[in-house]
Amino acid sequence: MPRSSGRGAVRWAPMAKWMIERRLSKTATRLKSLRSELGVIDEQLRHLGDDADDQEIRALVSETPGAGAEARDARRHVDAMRRHREHVVAEIAELESRQDELLDRMSAAAR
């Protein structure tokens, strides 16, 4: 946690260099994993979106209650995948912030 030194400067609580490096390594590994997952999610989202669009067109053409239900279900899948994507993007942003904080600590410890 950053601490104020009273003069507007920020001091970091002491942390061993090896601990910072370990946390940086874990953070980098998790970021790599989440970015890869995000690529898969984007691909799935495109596929699900195309499928939902097709289902909606079929529902309009067939005008049957079953087709409408299938279209709504397909759209719910798209919405769920979008929420999951937003969660992953938020976690990536949080980890990038954490990584910046750890790099700041490492830089401060080197001084």
| Cβ neighbours for 109, distance < 8 A, ≥ 6 positions apart | 12, 14, 15, 17, 20
Give the model's pLDDT for residue 14. 64
> Domain locations in the chain?
16-110
Q: Is the pTM of this model over 0.85?
A: no
Query: pLDDT under 50 in the chain at which residues?
Result: 1, 4-5
Angstrom distances, CA of residue 97 to CA of 84, 91, 94, 102, 106: 20, 10, 5, 9, 14
Give the model's pLDDT for residue 16. 84
